[in-house]
Amino acid sequence: MIIIGEKINGAIPKTAEAIRTKDEAYIREMAIKQTEFGAHYIDVCAGTDPSIELETIKWLIDIVQDAVDTPICIDSSDTDILLEAMAYVKKPGMINSVSEEHGKCDKMFPHLAGTDWKVVALTCDNTGISSDPKVKVKIGEIILEKAAKFGIDEDRFYIDTLVTTLSTNSESLASFVETMDGIRAKFPRVHFTSGLSNISFGMPFRSAINKNFMTLAMNAGMDSAIMDPLSADMRATIFATEALLGKDRNCRKFLNAYRKGVIGAAKKA
Q: Say if residue 225 is in the same domain as residue 250.
A: no
CATH code assigned at 133: 3.20.20.20
Distance (Å) of CA 225 to CA 1, 41, 53, 112, 239: 7, 10, 24, 22, 14
What are residue 188's phi and psi, to 5 degrees?
-70, -15
Q: Is the pLDDT of residue 269 over 70?
A: no
Give the number of other CB atoms < 10 A from CB of residue 268: 7
Q: Say if residue 56 is in the same domain as residue 152.
A: yes
Q: Say if residue 225 is in the same domain as residue 239.
A: no
Q: Say if residue 58 is in the same domain as residue 73.
A: yes
Per-residue pLDDT at 45? 98
Per-residue pLDDT at 120? 98
* Element (DSSP H or E) covering residue 232: helix 232-244
pLDDT in tens, 190-201: 999 999 999 999
Q: Say if residue 153 is in the same domain as residue 211.
A: yes
Per-residue pLDDT at 265? 66
Per-residue pLDDT at 101? 97
Q: Say if residue 152 is in the same domain as residue 242.
A: no
Mean pLDDT to the nearest integer, 2-17: 97
pLDDT in tens, 50-63: 999 999 999 999 99
What are residue 55's phi and psi, to 5 degrees?
-65, -30
**Chain-wide mean pLDDT for the chain?**
96
Contact between residue 241 and residue 19 where contact means Cβ atoms under 8 Å apart: no
DSSP β-bridge partners for residue 159: 121, 192
For the chain, give the number of residues. Answer: 269
Q: Say if residue 201 is in the same domain as residue 261.
A: no
Q: Say if residue 212 is in the same domain as residue 182.
A: yes
Q: Indicate the number of domains in the chain.
A: 2
Rounded distance between C-alpha atoms, residue 267 and residue 170, angstroms: 36
Q: Say if residue 210 is in the same domain as residue 256.
A: no
Q: Which amino acid, 59?
A: W
Contact between residue 165 and residue 183 where contact means Cβ atoms under 8 Å apart: no
pTM summary value: 0.96
pLDDT in tens, 146-177: 999 999 999 999 999 999 999 999 999 999 99
Q: What percent of the chain has pLDDT over 70?
A: 98
Confidence class for position 17, pLDDT limits 50, 70, 90: very high
Q: Say if residue 175 is in the same domain as residue 59.
A: yes
Contacts of 17 (CB under 8 A, 6+ apart): 23
DSSP 8-state symbol, 249: G
Q: Say if residue 130 is in the same domain as residue 216.
A: yes
pLDDT in tens, 89-139: 999 999 999 999 999 999 999 999 999 999 999 999 999 999 999 999 999
Q: Domain of 243?
A: 235-269
Q: Say if residue 201 is in the same domain as residue 269.
A: no
What are residue 3's phi and psi, to 5 degrees?
-100, 125
DSSP codes of every residue in 31-91: HHHHHHTT-SEEEEE--S-GGGHHHHHHHHHHHHHHH--SPEEEE-S-HHHHHHHHTT-SS
